[in-house]
Structure 1
Amino acid sequence: MDPNEHSNRLSTEFISLVEKINTLSNRTRSSEQPFLGALEQWRIESQQTLDSFCNEKRQTFINSRLEELNRLRTNVEELACVQDVTQQNTNSIKTSIDRIEQDINKIQFNFRPLLIDEHLIVRRSQDLLPFPPSNQAIELTDSSYAVLAGNKQHLLVHREPTLCLLDRQLTIIKETSWPLDDISDICWSSVLNRFIVINSQYVFILDERTMVLEQCLTSDTVNWIRGTCSDTKLYLSTEGIGSSIFEYTLMPSIVLLKEWKSPVTCAHNEWIEDLKFHNDFLGLVIGRCKNNAVCFELRSTVTLNCLWSIQLEEVCSMYATRCCPMLNHQWIVVAFRNPRIFHISSGGKLISADKKCRSPSNICQIGSNLLAIWDQKCIYLQNLCCII
């Protein structure tokens, strides 16, 4: 090769490499980077939390002293109307006023620095599947129903004959007897700060602090099969083909707002296998007889219009296909038949599928970094994040 030609080729390659580096540098600095956007949102939310804490302490400091001063003011006004006021009455009020003044002038305080854990921010991998082997699991009884739901710290599961509250290490910390034969689903309501436990005809609220079940809904006309909560609403879907979705308010009381019926929910020969709320949308798993396939769809909570749909082949069976929302508007779908786990993008595209998994029949998140997966014999955990 001619030396000049070789030099020109290298020069072109170097220019291309420099341009690539510059492009990546600009992308790294861009405020549109998902990580930087999420970091800024975290900063705003953290500042709001700190502001709320400081305002609460400020109001507590002010109100406690104003309450005492107002009480003393009332006492003075009452004594002013009394003729036989003694010096002892006056001295008592003076002493109280002096005490409050001294408290205001000489209050002792000590503010510890607010320390931030360097491992507080985690990176979520895009290559979730296949999951690595898990060493965190809890065995199940054979007659347990495949229902589970999580909040930030705990997991509620059915482990025949009880409902068990588990921590993030799958240790049973509390349990209570389940009074009915079957149990259809469990979901978490952040506004109620309660778990909602669903039976085919009854809906209960469970306080994780007391493990007391409180019946809140009953039905004689339909069989409920799935449930999910938004910040303000409860959505219940019905069993069988042509499934309906019932929409309820959660606060100040649980009241029916609307019943969505087929064909808005699904076709007359289809049924809802699962539904989950996430970021103002509903994720629906729609069962179909044709080709043993199901569709996973993202729906508007306002109109139930479909934003996108993805068909998952040869997964329909007597065991429902279940779904779980994740950060970044992505989804995980698990199928028991021909065991598979699907990772679906925010735009409804299949990112990856694991065909060598065990036999998953349900899935949910605990906080933002743990997945709990219901297997035939156990519930096991998968960590979604790594430290940066």
Structure 2
Amino acid sequence: MMSLRICTAESCKRAASALCISCEQDFCIVHFNEHSDSLVIQCLQLADVINKLFDQVNNISTFRPDFLIELDKWCQEAHREVNKFCENKKQEFKEIFHKEQDQRTTELDRLRGQITQLILEQEVTEDFIDSIDNSIQSLQRQIDQFQSAHLTLRPLVIDDDLVAFHQQISSYNDLLPLPSPQRTIQLENNWYSVAAKDNFLLVQHDSKLCILDEQLNVVKETPWTHHIILDMFWSKLLAQFIIISFEGIFVLDENSMIINQLPIACHNNKKTWYCGTCTNKNLFLSVEGISSSIYKYTLLPSIQLIKEYRSPISCKEDERIQDLSSSKNVLAIVIKNYRNEVHFDLCSSRTLERQWSIELNWITAEKNVETTWKFLYQKVTFNQTCIALKNFLNNNALCRGHHIVSQAIHLMS
């Protein structure tokens, strides 16, 4: 004999006559209708919210961001600064002109006085004539040289990063955990490095360097014959990918797909280059092993070593640098010690002075698991400065079996 089902509504003793498939609760016909009506009301309320958001997005006067007004103010201030600079230069040139004019006038008055005096005293000699003539010729050369002076006007180069649009991400929970991947691609013989440039990725696949689009389609490829790739990243200054392998440092032109080696020898003959990154102006490199140094280079007009940051500035003596990343003037360093403790440091790219540090020991919680590290770019606002943060994630969080996850790719780019 079947047991009688009772309506689950509070204080209701009627027999249940309907089952809500959504919440899997039994209701009598009266409370089922009420339950159904309440769900409809909730849907209508959500529809109202959507309509309000739709109107807000389409209403320019309401949706107009404040940063456009700020940009106009910035533009006006920039014009004032340029005008002020030009006025200062004009004043500087006028002062130079008047100083030159006074000096030459004083010298000419002196020579004219000497001539007048000697003529009156009738003590003119050939040596005096030669001396005066030499002085006049010297003055003539100085006057001609001053009159032929010209300005050196360099074009005003405006860094695109002076004005940038950034959206604030309030917390890691907005990005993590990652949703299910939209697309995957199987990569053969790949180490772990991935480089991003705009909406494209550079990966190693089956002894080739491949550029992938957003759909993970191979749009360009070229053979790679220079051993295992340890790291690769995009250089905006060179407009090329930089690749670090056991054989050295190489650059890849994305248009021609031509690979050339950079003339940068490792300063420690016992170690090899391990990782690197590029800011707007400089190249940063680090070597493998404990107590890693960080090397800072110029790239243009030539490659020059600026400074070596040794331990304890780069990292402690019992630590090694796992990876580097950068955004504008901020350098991100992932550091690991022999106890597998990991911390993420943010520092100035000019001085390597630490701004703050985060412990990431939760990453190494899984023991006896060989971990391949990946990086996930996300934007955060810190002290009103927008920076690109490389959140250190393990292989299980981002990819498995050398699969690249398209959903993560969008976050990285």
Task: Provide the TM-score with structure 1 as the length reference.
Answer: 0.57
Match of 2:348 in 1: 300
CA distance in structure 2 between the aligned counterparts of 1:308 and 1:250, rounded to whole angstroms: 28
Cα 1:184/1:128, change in 2 over 3 Å:
same
Match of 2:359 in 1: 311
Matched, 1:132 2:157: no
Amino acid at match of 1:152: D
CA distance in structure 1 between the aligned counterparts of 2:314 and 2:248, rounded to whole angstroms: 22
CA distance in structure 2 between the aligned counterparts of 1:217 and 1:315, rounded to whole angstroms: 36
Q: Offset of 1:132 from its aligned partner?
A: 1.4
1:381 to 392, 406, 413: 406
Q: Offset of 1:326 from its aligned partner?
A: 2.9
1:333 to 391, 397, 408: 391
Amino acid at match of 2:393: A
Matched, 1:266 2:324: no
Whether the 8 Å CA contact 2:360–2:392 is kept in 1: the answer is: no
Whether the 8 Å CA contact 1:201–1:218 is kept in 2: the answer is: no
2:238 to 189, 192, 199: 192
CA distance in structure 2 between the aligned counterparts of 1:385 and 1:217, rounded to whole angstroms: 33
Match of 2:336 in 1: 287
CA distance in structure 2 between the aligned counterparts of 1:186 and 1:45, rounded to whole angstroms: 36
CA distance in structure 1 between the aligned counterparts of 2:75 and 2:187, rounded to whole angstroms: 39
Whether the 8 Å CA contact 1:155–1:166 is kept in 2: the answer is: yes
- How high is the sequence identity, in percent, across the aligned residues? 34
CA distance in structure 1 between the aligned counterparts of 2:388 and 2:201, rounded to whole angstroms: 21
Residue by residue, what CA displacement relative to the aligned partner does 1:39-85 show, whole Å, maximum 9, x if unpaired? 557789999xxxxxxxxxxxxxxxxxxxxxxxxxxxxxxxxxxxxxx
Residue by residue, what CA displacement relative to the aligned partner does 1:204-237 show, whole Å, maximum 9, x if unpaired? 1110011100111343523111111011111111
Whether the 8 Å CA contact 1:264–1:304 is kept in 2: the answer is: yes
Structure 1 unaligned blocks of 5 or more: 1-34, 48-119, 340-357, 361-373
Amino acid at match of 1:171: N
Matched, 1:244 2:293: yes
CA distance in structure 2 between the aligned counterparts of 1:384 and 1:41, rounded to whole angstroms: 32
Give 1 or 2: higher helix fraction: 2
Cα 1:244/1:324, change in 2 over 3 Å:
farther
Matched, 1:278 2:327: yes
Cα 1:323/1:385, change in 2 over 3 Å:
closer
What is the number of residues matched between the two proteins?
A: 246
Question: Match of 1:184, SS?
Answer: strand
Amino acid at match of 1:191: L
Pairing 1:20-59 to 2, within 5 Å after superposition: 36=65
CA distance in structure 2 between the aligned counterparts of 1:267 and 1:171, rounded to whole angstroms: 42
CA distance in structure 2 between the aligned counterparts of 1:131 and 1:43, rounded to whole angstroms: 38
Match of 2:226 in 1: 180
Amino acid at match of 2:379: L
Matched, 1:147 2:196: no
Match of 1:351 in 2: none
Amino acid at match of 1:231: N
Whether the 8 Å CA contact 2:327–2:388 is kept in 1: the answer is: no
Q: Offset of 1:302 from its aligned partner?
A: 1.6
Question: Match of 1:265, SS?
Answer: coil
CA distance in structure 1 between the aligned counterparts of 2:341 and 2:400, rounded to whole angstroms: 21
CA distance in structure 1 between the aligned counterparts of 2:409 and 2:288, rounded to whole angstroms: 32
Cα 1:232/1:39, change in 2 over 3 Å:
same
CA distance in structure 2 between the aligned counterparts of 1:169 and 1:375, rounded to whole angstroms: 19
Give 1 or 2: higher strand fraction: 1
Whether the 8 Å CA contact 1:189–1:196 is kept in 2: the answer is: yes
Task: Provide the TM-score with structure 2 as the length reference.
Answer: 0.53
1:255 to 279, 286, 304: 304
CA distance in structure 1 between the aligned counterparts of 2:352 and 2:308, rounded to whole angstroms: 11
CA distance in structure 1 between the aligned counterparts of 2:401 and 2:74, rounded to whole angstroms: 40
Whether the 8 Å CA contact 1:148–1:156 is kept in 2: the answer is: yes
CA distance in structure 1 between the aligned counterparts of 2:230 and 2:331, rounded to whole angstroms: 19
Residue by residue, what CA displacement relative to the aligned partner does 1:157-203 show, whole Å, maximum 9, x if unpaired? 11121110111211101111111221111110111111111113411
Question: Match of 1:382, SS?
Answer: helix
Residue by residue, what CA displacement relative to the aligned partner does 1:252-295 show, whole Å, maximum 9, x if unpaired? 122211111111100111000011011311111110223x3200
Whether the 8 Å CA contact 1:283–1:323 is kept in 2: the answer is: no
Q: Offset of 1:335 from its aligned partner?
A: 3.3
> What is the alpha-carbon root mean square deviation over aligned residues?
3.3
CA distance in structure 2 between the aligned counterparts of 1:273 and 1:37, rounded to whole angstroms: 40
Amino acid at match of 1:208: E
**Higher-Rg member (1/2):** 2
